[in-house]
Every structure is written in C-alpha cells, then in structure tokens.
C-alpha cells in the first residue's frame, strides 16, 4: 500500500547519511521547507473560501517555527492555559482560540488574558464561565457532539464514541440550553475527525446540520474542528471547499478549521542510531537509541507503524524487529525489511515525526529528551535545544 504521507519528500535532494553524520542522536529534525509546503496548501483553501485556519498546538507547539506559520494561518488553537499563552506570546496579532473539557477556577481569568475565542464542552461550563467571558469581550462557543462516528478501530481518538465525554449531544442541548444561553453563543464547534478525508467531513456535516442546524441562524462562526488531512496527497480539497461554502453561505457565518497534522505533515524526522544487533528465536533484532514510549508515544497509543527511510515491508529483504532501550517489553517500534544488512552505529530515520512528538515526549526510564533541530529551507541545520540531565531532574523535584 502506498504511503500517502510522502514522509521523506523533504530528503529527496540530499544524502541523509552524509548530511546528518555529525548530528547527535536521538533527535528531532523539523523540516522548514515542508512546513511551508503544507501551509501554502492550507492558505490556498483560505484564499478560495475565506475560511480561517488555525494551528492546533496540541499537535505541534515548536514556537521557533511560528514565525513561518503565521504568514499563512489565522492563529492558534489551544487546549488550555499554557498553549493559549504560548500562542499569544509567539504569534502576536493572531487569533487565539481555546477549548478544554473543563476549565479550572484558578486559571480561567488568566486564560481571558490570552484567548480571543473560548469554547465550552458542556452546558454547565457555559453557565459557569460564559458571562465572565462575555464581560471580557471574548467570543464564546459550545462544542457539540453529533454522535456520528466515522472512525474504525481507534476509539481512543473518536470523540463520537458511545461514552465520549466531549461535546454536547442534541438531547442535552435541547433539554439544558435556555434561550439566554443560546443567545450568548457566538459560535458552535464540532471536532469528530482524525487523519481523515473530506468525505468523512461531508457525511458528518450532514448529520450536524440535520440535528443542530436550526440553532445556527444567529451565529457568527462555526468551527469544523481538526483531524482534516488537507495536505495529504490524496485529500479531496474540492469537496472540502464545497463543505465550507455550503455552511458559510447558508448561515452567513465565518468558518474555522483547526488542523494540527495538516500543518506539519511530512515535516519532521526522528534520527536514531543502532546500539545493538542480535538474533533471537529466529528474529533479527536492532536496539536503537530512541524510544517509542518516550519520544513518539503515538506509535504505541494509536498504534501505527511509522515510516522508516530506505525500509520496505515487501519482498525477500532482511527482516528486522526494531526495539528500544527502555525496560518496557512493548517498547518496540516495529518490523521492517532492508535490502542490506544493518550494523551497529548505522543511522535510521523515521518520517512524519513533527506531529505529536516533541509535545508528547517524556523521560520514562531516565531516557534523555532528544534535542530539536530545524532544517531550514536552504538546508542549513540549526540546533534549537540542548536538553540534558537537569531537564530530566527538574520534572521530578527541586533543583539544588
């Protein structure tokens, strides 16, 4: 099956083994040229429709690249106080939206300093904080749940699963929302997708409009949420544009989208080197100096097999099982085939690693945090961080 993410497109004009030979591993390498490529596609959607596209910081929050992204997008979408502050500080002059399943009393007033749009997850949260937000001239929205699942096999990422805590169902909306609360709303938000094409958006939108559309006439905006794989090579952009224009024209509202992956798809790599190689029970094992559990945990949570440069899953090539140095038995990245033998010290490159990596990593087993580099569009490499022992220790107590 073709990998439609084209995870190594940014490496096509270089010899990675030579180019990265002096880089200490493990590390993240962010590809600026690929971010620009993704953002240009997103901006073309905005230019054709007037839709406003936001960076979902939960997916990618490497603010050193915000100066690039701000040239194409309308702002950021945050999941809480820290991301809202980051977006406000590092993308000044742009919009800051925030959604949380529940807001803390001791943080909400500080959130009001940074966020322009505040989206509530429940009617009770809207009742609790809505008036205060309005007094601070914030636009407020409510997340709805159309109870229409389009995902198969990944319930952990399905906001419409039967026991999802996310979003207000039509039953709750019609029984709990008073006219006063409805009139308080500036917008409606729904987020039901994960790495999906626009046919799933269209099908979801039909359900949303059927269930909730009668409440949309006095709104300023409708937010289609995230999970739109807009920059993937097979994504149906024309269908997306039809969906945007349908809702925009029918209700005279602004449309927001808040993708994360689409902003940085194929725009990052994890570089790692082989520490050990051995045979066991008929399998060739490689132990590398990175960790799926620590450095790209979605591999285990999703789970999925990350793309690996110069590897294949077909033919009669040499099969290796790539594992990690932590004590977790399941800290295994996956099985890959290579045409040539892999040796201790060899460089391996995992692709499509800008998303959900640097913002989700951890130091389980005392694994060091990988340093972060950016490969500029002129291919110059710049080191952004220098993580070490204190970055591990400071997460656990007071530094002396």
pLDDT of residue 3: 47
pLDDT of residue 96: 98
pLDDT of residue 1: 32
Q: What superfamily would CATH give domain 9-30+267-393? A: Lyase, Ornithine Decarboxylase; Chain A, domain 1 (2.40.37.10)
Topology classification of domain 50-264:
TIM Barrel (3.20.20)
pLDDT of residue 300: 96
Residue 308's Cβ-side half-sphere holds a number of Cα atoms within 13 Å equal to 20
Helices (H), the chain: 16-19, 32-49, 66-69, 81-90, 105-114, 123-135, 170-176, 179-184, 198-212, 237-251, 261-264, 292-295, 298-301, 389-393
The two structure tokens encoding residue 35: 């971010």
Question: String of b and e for 72-107 (b: at least 16 CB within 10 Å)?
Answer: bbbbbbbebbebbbbbbebbeebbbbbbbeebeeee
Strands 268-280 and 27-31: antiparallel
The two structure tokens encoding residue 281: 């029970």
**No. of helices (H) and no. of strands (E), the chain:** 14, 16
Q: Where are the domains of the chain?
A: 9-30+267-393, 50-264
pLDDT of residue 5: 59
Identify the DSSP state of 399: -
The two structure tokens encoding residue 387: 């993580």
Spatial distance between the Cα atoms of 35 and 29, rounded to a whole number of angstroms: 12
DSSP 3-state helix, strand, coil percentages of the chain (rounded to 5)? 35, 20, 45
Identify the DSSP state of 287: E
pTM of structure: 0.95
Determine contact, residues 76/55, Cβ cutoff 8 Å.
Answer: yes
pLDDT tens for the 400 residues of the chain, in order = 344 558 999 999 999 999 999 999 999 999 999 999 999 999 999 999 999 999 999 999 999 999 999 999 999 999 999 999 999 999 999 999 999 999 999 999 999 999 999 999 999 999 999 999 999 999 999 999 999 999 877 788 899 998 999 999 999 999 999 999 999 999 999 999 999 999 999 999 999 999 999 999 999 999 999 999 999 999 999 999 999 999 999 999 999 999 999 999 999 999 999 999 999 999 999 999 999 999 999 999 989 999 999 997 676 789 999 999 999 999 999 999 999 999 999 999 999 999 999 999 999 999 999 999 999 999 999 999 999 999 999 999 986 7
């Amino acid at each position: 099956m073709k990998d439609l993410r084209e995870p190594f497109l940014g490496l096509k004009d270089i010899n990675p083994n030579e180019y990265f030979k002096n880089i200490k591993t493990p590390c993240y390498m962010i590809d600026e040229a690929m971010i620009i490529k993704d953002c240009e596609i997103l901006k073309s959607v905005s230019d054709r429709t007037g839709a406003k596209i936001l960076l979902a910081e939960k997916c990618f929050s490497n603010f050193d690249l915000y100066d690039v992204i701000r040239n194409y997008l309308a702002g950021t979408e945050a999941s809480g106080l820290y991301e809202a502050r980051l977006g406000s500080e590092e993308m000044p002059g742009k919009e800051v939206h925030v959604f949380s399943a529940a807001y803390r009393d001791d943080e909400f007033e500080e959130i009001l300093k940074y966020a322009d749009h505040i989206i509530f997850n429940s009617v009770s949260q809207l009742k609790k904080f809505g008036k205060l937000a309005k007094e601070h001239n914030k636009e407020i929205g409510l997340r709805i749940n159309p109870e229409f699942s389009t995902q198969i096999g990944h319930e952990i990422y399905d906001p419409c699963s039967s026991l999802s805590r996310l979003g207000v169902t039509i039953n709750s909306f019609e029984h709990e929302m008073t006219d006063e609360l409805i009139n308080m709303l500036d917008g409606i938000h729904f987020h039901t997708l994960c790495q999906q094409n626009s046919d799933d958006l269209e099908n979801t939108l039909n359900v949303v409009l059927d269930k909730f559309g009668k409440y949309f006439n006095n709104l300023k905006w409708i937010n289609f949420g995230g999970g739109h794989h807009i920059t993937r090579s097979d994504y149906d952009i024309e269908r997306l544009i039809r969906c945007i224009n349908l809702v925009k024209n029918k209700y005279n509202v602004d449309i927001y989208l808040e993708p994360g992956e689409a902003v940085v798809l194929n725009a990052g790599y994890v570089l790692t080197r082989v520490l050990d190689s051995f045979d066991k029970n008929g399998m060739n094992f490689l132990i590398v100096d990175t960790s799926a559990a620590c450095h790209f945990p979605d591999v285990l949570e999703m789970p999925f097999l990350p793309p690996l440069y110069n590897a294949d899953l077909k033919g009669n090539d040499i099969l290796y099982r790539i594992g990690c140095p932590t004590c977790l038995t399941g800290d295994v990245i996956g099985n890959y085939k290579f045409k040539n033998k892999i040796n201790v010290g060899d460089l391996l490159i995992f692709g499509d690693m800008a998303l959900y990596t640097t913002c989700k990593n951890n130091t389980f087993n005392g694994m060091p945090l990988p340093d972060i580099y950016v490969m500029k569009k002129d291919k110059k490499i710049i080191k952004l961080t220098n993580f070490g022992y204190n970055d591990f220790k400071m997460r656990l107590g007071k530094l002396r």
